[in-house]
Amino acid sequence: MQKVGIDAGGSLLKIAFQERGVMHYKKYPISELESAISWLKAAAPNIMAALTGGKAHILQERFFPSGTIIPEFQATCEGVRLFLLEEGRKTPDPYIIVNVGTGTSWHLVDGEKYERILGSGMGGGTFMGLGMLLTNESDFYRLSELAVTGQKENLDLRVKDIYESDAPPINGDLTAANFAKGLSVKHSPSDRMAAVTNMVAETIMLLTLQAAAIHKVKEIVFIGSSLIGNPSLTKTLETYMKMLGLQSTFLKNGEYCGAVGALLSI
């Protein structure tokens, strides 16, 4: 292990390194930054580090004074490019990367060029934060599990709830207002997580639709830790993309795009 790529984001620390030709990945809550880096430095004291993410400068100051900082959006897009190639996919061109991290950001990739085109505060941090407030659970996997069995209809007001017996002018199953049923219908922690998941997915879907239309793109690549081990969020996004006629790819190691992209740059 001579080189390492580290992506220190708002929620998680992602580490990628190669050993005997094989890529290894690790991730830790950002609150465990100190112990994770101590492990790495003990295992490889003279390692060359490529640092990216919002906390890259903190890592450089505290642990890797000779580490190289790679701009986050560059690292992300380079990582996606590599994973698409590794998965044997003909790289679609142009395409939009949707990075569902703590928040969500959109990047337009066209050949060698990439550009961040959009951002939203709706993301994995919303899933965690609202999830905690509404269920008293704080574990990501537990919240993801709850979301799978919940009924969002117990909280979300649908178009057909407003039109009742009248024929609605648009698809009655569409959401008229997220969480609008409030306390009027009985709901469980699972139902609340399903509604949180749907609100995040719907917001991402609507923004992706507009970005895709403006930039005339049909291919969407989803990455970010919020989607890993979170089948409800992933499936909802997948369904919405199909509904819009957009082609979607969910990268297998998509949470490590930043770390791998940084590693590639040194």
| Residue 255 engages ligand ATP in binding (rule: CB under 6 A) | yes
Minimum CB separation of residue 101 from Mg ion in Å reads: 4
Distance between CA atoms of 166 and 223, rounded to whole angstroms? 41
Q: Look up 34 and say whether it is catalytic.
A: no
Among residues 32, 34, 61, 72, the one annotated as catalytic is 72
Q: Of Mg ion, ligand ATP, none, which one sits near residue 172, judging by CB under 5 to 8 A according to partner kind?
A: none
Distance between CA atoms of 34 and 173, rounded to whole angstroms? 47
**Sole binder of Mg ion in the list 5, 101, 123, 150 (CB under 5 A):** 101
Distance between CA atoms of 143 and 155, rounded to whole angstroms? 17
Distance between CA atoms of 220 and 246, rounded to whole angstroms? 7
Pairing mode, strands 175-177 and 68-69: unpaired
Q: Of Mg ion, ligand ATP, none, which one sits near residue 236, judging by CB under 5 to 8 A according to partner kind?
A: none
Residue 64, token pair as written in the block: 């890797």
Distance between CA atoms of 227 and 265, rounded to whole angstroms? 25
Q: Of Mg ion, ligand ATP, none, which one sits near residue 79, judging by CB under 5 to 8 A according to partner kind?
A: none
Residues 86-115 that bind ligand ATP (CB under 6 A): 101-103
Residues 123-162 that bind Mg ion (CB under 5 A): none
Concatenated DSSP letters of 120-143: ES-SHHHHHHHHHHHHS---HHHH
End-to-end CA distance of the chain: 14
Site size toward Mg ion (CB under 5 A) is 2
Minimum CB separation of residue 81 from Mg ion in Å reads: 17
Q: Tell me which residues touch ligand ATP (CB under 6 A).
A: 9-12, 29, 53-54, 101-103, 124-125, 127-128, 140, 224-226, 255
Catalytic residues: 72
